Amino acid sequence: MTSSLRAGPPRARRTAGGKLLAVLAAFSRERPTLTLSEIARTVGVPLSTAHRLVGELTRWGALERDADGRFRIGLRIWELGALAPPALGLREAALPFMGDLYEVTHQNVQLAVRDGDEVVFVERIAGRDAVSVLTQVGGRFTLPPTGVGLVLLAHAPAEVQEHVLAGPLTAYTQHTITDARQLRRVLAEVRRSGMAVSDRQVTEDAVSVAAPIEVRGAVVAALSIVVRGSSPAAVRSYAPGVRAAALGIGRTLASTSTWS
């Protein structure tokens, strides 16, 4: 029977630190909890070694054990991740603007950065009655389908754009852009207009509008609102607010030493 877990790396010589990092890397959003035997198999170490590594990580707070005996990432890792300079400064600068945007709209407000050819969602404010979205704070998504992803891809280095355009473009709905030539035209329009609209490209009932967050001419993040809708018209009235909030975040970042 084929296991759903990723095959463990070759049993090459690894340092103790490398083994600890490999244990942490075994967890993912798709696999947030693992048993000890699953960790051993994924990392490619004997069960006794996995027990020692997991014990060390658990004592430090990097892992936690739930009532079923499965392990998950601990709060200590979340605390350290929140201290990463880009995320820390960006969230602190963005949250007041995101809060104001949410109070006016009561829609999903999202903040994201690019990591390679993926979007990483740094923060999100979600309304109880707002349309459901697939994104989560700390989660990753492919660049092209989302509004923030279109903004970040449009302003990414040429080699990143060409890599994404050359690869398979995943269809999430019937509206997802999967033709590279069409996507290239969309990215050019995003750069021209300074805004991006994702029309039901991720789910059939959600439309988003996004704007770049710039610091001294460089796009460092993107901000969006996601609403329930069936056409780009659903976000037309929200675009000025998103653009204004993105400009405000950029100015705040530019005034801080972290981004100087």
pLDDT confidence of residue 1: 38
Task: Provide the pLDDT for residue 82.
Answer: 61
Looking at the structure, do residues 53 and 109 belong to the same domain, yes or no? no
**Please, what are the averages of pLDDT over each run of 10 residues along the chain (260 residues)?**
43 75 86 92 92 93 90 82 64 92 92 90 84 76 93 96 93 95 96 96 94 93 94 95 96 73
In a domain, 215, yes or no: yes
Burial of 107 by CB count in 10 Å (0-12 exposed, 13-18 middle, 19+ buried)? Answer: buried
Query: Does any domain span residue 10?
Result: no
* 1 domain residue, yes or no: no
Which helix H or strand E contains 58, and what residues bound it?
A: helix 47-60
pLDDT computed for residue 5 by the predictor? 45
Q: What local confidence, expressed as pLDDT, does residue 87 receive?
A: 57
Give the pLDDT confidence score for residue 11 in this predicted structure. Answer: 47
What CATH number is given to the structural domain containing 57? 1.10.10.10
Which structural domain, as residue segments, surrounds residue 24?
A: 16-79
Residues 189 and 217 in one domain: yes
The model's pTM is 0.71
What CA–CA distance (Å, rounded) separates 252 from 180?
Answer: 36
Closest listed residue to residue 137, CA positions, set 215, 204, 199, 81: 81
Residue 100 in tokens: 């104001």
Domain count, the chain: 2
Tally Cβ neighbours within 10 Å of residue 153: 25
Q: Is 6 contained in some domain?
A: no
- The tokens describing 182, both together, are 């069409």
Residue 5 domain-assigned (yes or no): no
Distances (CA, A) of 121 to 56, 118, 168, 233: 30, 10, 22, 25
The answer to whether 221 and 183 are in contact (CB under 8 A) is no
Indicate whether 139 and 240 sit together in one domain: yes
